[in-house]
Amino acid sequence: MTKTIAVAGKGGTGKTSIAALTIDYLVRNKKGTVLAIDADPSTNLNLALGVPLTETIGDVREETATIASSGRPLGGMSKWDYLDLRINEALVEQPGFDLLAMGRPEGPGCYCAANNILRSSIDRLSNAYDWVVIDNEAGLEHLSRRTTRDVDILLVVSDPTLRGILAASRVAELVNELRTAVGAVYLIVNRVNGQTLPDTVLRTIEEHRLQLLGVLPFDPTVGEFDAEGKPIVQLPAEAPFRRSLEAILASLKLDGH
């Protein structure tokens, strides 16, 4: 059975960095095959992973819409087969994992038929992997529209501020409104200076019944890598951010089967 891990939270909290290192953790520890899905229209998971990206599902959707409205035949294929083929072409294959970037969301003129086919095609593709790791855009509003698959583990990322935790709790509450079933929701507080969180922050976490999985330190190397355009997966083993995240992931006892 495929297990799905989704990373959510406000913009700039560290979702992409956490998603990329989670993928790297699963690959390095031979936990099984991994499909990485970049569900953020700004598509930067590939940069964090250090892999090239040539097209997105958004490109495929638009191309299909154009072809369909022009009435051109799809090379003798049904549109289902055609979209399956194009999704496979958009898939970036790497040793240990594959990456699919969703790209731009559907525009105001919803090409709903293509979206539905795309969704079921991506779901079918996902089922071929042991793990699916989804890097989401800020918020969760689009999770249901992107995929019908259930999420086993939702990691909500926050900065160590009161406002950040309140935003994270709203994301966690949104889960109940999704069509998607979510197994476990965990809070990760990122960019923490020192060992502990301020009392007000801890109290707010308790009040909102958020399950704190762990904290990740502020780590200047993370920012340096970003500034220099170096993939975060190349972060040294001893980097505090990497070490702390690996300890958190180890505590989840992620086993594919």
Binding site for ligand ADP (CB under 6 A): 11-17, 190-191, 216, 218-219, 222-223, 226, 241
Question: Shortest approach of ligand ADP to residue 196 CB, angstroms?
Answer: 16
Residue with Cβ nearer Mg ion (16 or 190): 16
Closer CB to ligand ADP, 70 or 193, in the complex? 193
Computed on alpha carbons and rounded to an integer, the radius of gyration of the chain in Å comes to 19
Q: Which is nearer to ligand ADP, 40 or 84 (CB)?
A: 40
Q: Candidates 2, 4, 16, 158: give the one binding Mg ion (CB under 5 A).
A: 16
Contact partners, residue 230, CB within 8 Å, separation at least 6: 50, 224
The DSSP H or E segment spanning 158 is strand 151-158
Q: Is 16 or 64 the residue whose CB approaches Mg ion more closely?
A: 16
Does 2 participate in binding Mg ion (rule CB under 5 A)? no
CA dihedral over 232, 237, 243, 248, signed as positive or negative: positive
17 binds Mg ion, rule: CB under 5 A: no
Q: How far is the CB of 15 from Mg ion (least distance, A)?
A: 5
We find the least distance from the C-beta atom of residue 221 to ligand ADP, in angstroms, to be: 8
Q: Using CB distances below 5 to 8 A depending on partner kind, what does residue 222 bind out of ligand ADP, Mg ion, none? A: ligand ADP
17 binds, among Mg ion, ligand ADP, none (CB under 5 to 8 A by kind): ligand ADP
Rounded Cα gap, residues 109 and 114, in angstroms = 12
3 binds, options Mg ion, ligand ADP, none, Cβ within 5 to 8 A by partner type: none
**φ, ψ (nearest 5 deg) of residue 140:** -130, 5
Q: Name which of 187 and 222 has its Cβ closer to ligand ADP.
A: 222
Residue 64's Cβ-side half-sphere holds a number of Cα atoms within 13 Å equal to 27
For residues 11 and 107, which CB has a smaller minimum distance to ligand ADP in the complex?
Answer: 11
- Asked if 216 and 180 touch (Cβ cutoff 8 Å), the reply is no
Cα(235)–Cα(241) distance, rounded to whole angstroms? 9
Element (H, E) at 221: helix 220-227
Nearest 10 degrees: Cα torsion 245, 253, 10, 16: 60
Contacting Mg ion within 25-64 (CB under 5 A): 40
Query: Which residues sit at the interface with Mg ion, rule CB under 5 A?
Result: 15-16, 40
